Amino acid sequence: MHVMVSPLGKRGLLKFLLCLSVLAILPVSALGQEAGKLPVLFDARERLARPDLSTVMRVRILTTVDFPPFNFADQNGRLSGFHVDLAREICAELKIEAKCQIQALPFEELEKTLEEGGGEAVMAGIAITPERRGRFAFSRPYITVPARFARNRSARIEGETAAALAGRPVGVVKDTAHELMLKAFFPKITATPFETNEAMLAALKAGKVDAVFSDGLRLPFWVVGEASENCCALFDGPYMSEKFLGEGLSVMLRGNEPDLVLAFDHALATLSRNGRLQEIYLRYFPYGLY
């Protein structure tokens, strides 16, 4: 399962980059939230030792180009994104820049390539599942992606919290974690399922539903993008749930290289403490996800 896959193509990528630049210059009120800090997922008091990687010949970090803003090819064809910048920082922190290579592959080839020794790590938003834990090792999570509401500006909603949506139609994509989470967290809301994310957002824009409940990554970009035509705004939240949304994003590694797993954990913890992880996060999510 690829978390939030978003194949773009050249035209779609240009729209995404435009949305990213818009997010960076919009006033806070346009997004309905203040810039948030990345939640700290590492204990500040914990010191993780850096293993000796002198015998490691190379570290090939595999990713994709279809998961913006985490990893994508920019207008010049260069590999870019949150994961790419973070991978470079990890290599720098571990002092193995000369051994590090970042390679892009089709998403469906990542697991097989890693299993067969064609890489040492994957940074591409792959969901952690019990089945994958039996085949691979994972670093500690470095980011979690919340769920968010977005409301139609013309809907008469009395209140600033999700409680004001009780009894109102709220769109959600059918048979997704967000549908299950909406029903569990907000049983008084009238969940209105749609077959696709596009159909759900079209209904919100047309006022057929008062709000929608979806992932906190795509909604902010859609809200400020051309497609929404300023119809809508983020509303309340964010909402987190490991049960419904998973543990978060982690580096996936081969299970027979424990030192490399420990090294990634050390680097991620260090980058979290020294602020570099936060800097990279705000570079691609200037108003935050939280």
What is the pLDDT at residue 254? Answer: 95
The single-letter code of the amino acid at 228 is S
Non-local CB neighbours of 175 within 8 Å, separated by 6+ positions: 193
Q: Which of 234, 286, 233 is nearest to 26 (CA)?
A: 286
Q: Do domains 9-144+247-284 and 147-245 have the same CATH topology?
A: yes
**Topology of the domain covering 9-144+247-284:** D-Maltodextrin-Binding Protein; domain 2 (3.40.190)
What pTM was estimated for this model as a whole? 0.76
Q: Give 264: exposed, middle or buried? Use CB within 10 Å, 0-12, 13-18, 19+.
A: buried
57 three-class SS: coil
Tokens encoding 7:
């194949």
Instruction: Give me the chain's average pLDDT, please.
Output: 86
Two structure tokens written together for 106:
């089709």
Helix (H, G, I), strand (E, B) or coil at 110: helix
Cβ atoms of 205 and 247 closer than 8 Å = no
Query: CA 89 to CA 63: how far, in whole Å?
Result: 15
pLDDT tens figures, 189-246: 999 999 999 999 999 999 999 999 999 878 888 998 899 999 999 999 899 999 999 8
| Rounded average pLDDT over 275-290 | 86
Which residue ranges make up each domain of the chain?
A: 9-144+247-284, 147-245
Average pLDDT over residues 168-192: 97
Question: What's residue 156's pLDDT?
Answer: 95
From the list 276, 185, 175, 172, the residue with the least C-alpha distance to 237 is 185
DSSP label of 143: B
Residues 1, 219: Cα–Cα separation, whole Å: 20
User: Residue 92: its pLDDT value, please?
Assistant: 97
Quote the CA–CA distance of 60 and 123 in Å, as a whole number: 11
For the segment 38-59, what is each residue's pLDDT rounded down to a tens digit? 777 777 777 788 899 999 999 9
* Average pLDDT rounded to a whole number, residues 25-33: 39
Backbone angles phi, psi at 194, to 5 degrees: -130, 155
Indicate whether 75 pLDDT > 50.
Answer: yes
127 pLDDT above the threshold of 50: yes
Look at strands 100-104 and 59-63 and give their pairing.
parallel
Q: Percent of the chain scored above 70 by pLDDT?
A: 87
Q: Which two tokens stand for residue 35?
A: 């810039």
Residue 287 pLDDT class (50, 70, 90 cuts): low
Does the domain made of 147-245 have the CATH classification 1.10.8.870? no
Residue with tokens 């050390």: 266
> Does the pLDDT of residue 125 top 90, yes or no?
no
- Give the residue-averaged pLDDT of 130-146: 93
